[in-house]
Structure 1
Amino acid sequence: MPAVFQIKSSDENINSIHDTFYFENKYLTLVNSVLNDWIVYYRPAKRAGEPGGKAAGYFATARVISIHPTEGRPGYTTARLAEFFEFPSVPFSVTAPLAISKFYYERNMQESDGSLNKHANQQRVRVLSLEEYNAILEAAFDQHQTETPPEVHVLPYAGFQEDQPEPFLRSRFVTSRALRDRTFSKAVGEAYGWKCTMSGIRLCALDGSYEIECAHIKPVKDSGPDSVQNGITLVRTLHWLFDKGLISIGFDYRIIRSSLYQDPKIDGLINATGKIQLPKNEIDYPHPDFLRYHRKHIFVP
């Protein structure tokens, strides 16, 4: 059974949501029902005056692989995640032309009079039907028009249903490597303004494409997630050097060169500061764990 995990910009594990989600024990039964199944992350709207952050909406999916007590935090449990996949943000609700009321992807959010179910909206973990889960992913990839919202099965807010067959739609979205790569590249490219983080080069062709490649810092083959925090933008030559371990990035975002780095002409491509150019949004900065992995397992000193 899928579920929604709701986070806020103030959550202490905001930078590790690709593999960890802390939740209150009152949600333990529900999260246990999601074990080995998929969740969708939801980010609520910022309160007035809150700095930074990203737009509200559903923005990622991942699979729950284990659940265990949170060390040092009585009353909390930790869900461990894998196969994290960040996708274009989907709004909480849709108002279609000529519609009398809003369409909610989580149908339990709507009271019988059409108003928002405020109690359900405040829950950090919420059950989803398979149809609701698929509708959210469909919306992320423009698979339907908002004027005709998809029909979804309504579940009781607190309840369970018998296992259903794995739908083709969900499998296609979460297992397609080509789709994941395209989505990852778009998200990382936009975060960095389609500019090479190591050289500052930003070249755009007449067809709107950029001379940029979006690299996973921790490779996919080593279980690196499809997260903006695990991506950087590089021109092709620097991408090759990065993947081969001839350059890397220090804890202070300084560009590190391997002892095998032989051609000083490449230095002409590197930013004069010697550091990478970071995204505008701090939440998109490269994650220290991924940079550490690259330095330890890929970089050649």
Structure 2
Amino acid sequence: MVQAVLYHKLDSVYDDITGEQYHFPKMYLSRIEQTVGDWIVYYGPVPKEKGRFYSGIAKVVSVRPDQRQDNHFYAELSGYLDFDRLVDYSESGGYEKKMFRPDGSVNGGRSVQAVRLLDPSEFAAIIHAGLANPDEWPDRVDTPGAENVAPGFGDVAQAPFVGDEQERPIITQLLNRPFRDAKFRQNIRKIYDRTCAFTGLRLINGHGRPEVEAAHIQPVEHGGSDSIQNGIALSGTVHWMFDRGLLSLGDDFSILPSRQLNYDVSHLLHRDMRARVPEAPHLRPHPHYLAWHRNEIFKH
């Protein structure tokens, strides 16, 4: 097993779903087969940003042929997690040793390769750079004896991604559910500006912590990923209704109320019954996850 970088572009002609499947031609088959059971890093351009960036990680589960297109294959992925910041491939002198010549110039032959195998040290450096930012609004954590502390004074900051591999191995932390939940929540709250997409509510406590929650559209326990595109910011009550199928979302981001609702909640929602989602397409809920929610959770 070996780690690798996979090139991905939002408007690619390939049949990609970030964190779910990666579509590629046969020329890269031998490389991707080496990654099965190990982790890959997403890399490529980002809308409205100049340059190319590492943006997230996923684990390669298996490789299968494309039944509709000759000499093409799919890598099935799991465990996707967005970085909490875009990592420029050239920062700090560059993370991939073979990408740069001794004089610092880019190795053109290497840079055009859509699949690039990584040394463990290169993978570790990229992961540390992408998951190092602490949460600006961590959840409140009570310490022993905190029952006599005034509300809000038991707050502690989320620990950043630990750099000492001996103390806390990278892979162990990538698989750690509390760590992943915290990163998912951090990313969703940030891109939605701590505002509920369905109601427009933006309730903030005295320490700047938002009331809004990060909701998985397709829950992790049902095969959903921790991708930003599988998330949406919702206030507590709306999150409860969304998880129970009393509200859902169309591909055009129209809010869909269930006929099983025994109470008119329209006054709680945006008047035009449309969710407010990020402007950038790569940050919006993906139709793949929205369709799953409508088909599997929504009470029509």
TM-score range, shorter chain: 0.7 to 0.9
Distance in 2 between the 1:278 and 1:14 partners? 23
Partner of 2:52: 56
Contact 2:16/2:23 (<8 A) preserved:
no
Deviations 1:85-123 (Å, cap 9, x if unpaired)? 11222221224xxxxxxx221111122333222211111
Instruction: Indicate yes or no: 2:134 matched with 1:137.
Output: no
Partner of 1:92: 89
**Structure 1 pair 14–211 and aligned structure 2 pair: CA distance change class (3 A):** farther
C-alpha displacement at 1:205, in angstroms? 2.8
C-alpha displacement at 1:198, in angstroms? 0.5
**Structure 1 pair 208–111 and aligned structure 2 pair: CA distance change class (3 A):** same
Instruction: Give identity over the alignment, percent.
Output: 33
Distance in 2 between the 1:14 and 1:58 partners? 20
Distance in 2 between the 1:203 and 1:140 partners? 29
Give the CA RMSD over aligned residues: 2.4
Partner of 2:72: 76
C-alpha displacement at 1:221, in angstroms? 0.3
Partner of 1:288: 287
**Structure 1 pair 55–213 and aligned structure 2 pair: CA distance change class (3 A):** farther
Instruction: Indicate yes or no: 2:105 matched with 1:115.
Output: yes
Moved more, 240-249 or 184-193: 184-193
**Structure 1 pair 8–209 and aligned structure 2 pair: CA distance change class (3 A):** same
The residue identity in structure 1 corresponding to 2:293 is H
The residue identity in structure 1 corresponding to 2:91 is V
Deviations 1:121-145 (Å, cap 9, x if unpaired)? 11100001122111111112228xx
SS in 2 for 1:16: coil
The residue identity in structure 1 corresponding to 2:42 is Y
The residue identity in structure 1 corresponding to 2:27 is K
Partner of 2:139: none
Partner of 1:244: 244
Contact 2:16/2:22 (<8 A) preserved:
no
Partner of 1:228: 228
The residue identity in structure 2 corresponding to 1:270 is L
Instruction: Indicate yes or no: 2:200 matched with 1:200.
Output: yes
Distance in 2 between the 1:141 and 1:52 partners? 22
C-alpha displacement at 1:246, in angstroms? 1.6
Matches within 5 A, 1:117-196: 117-142=107-132, 169-196=169-196
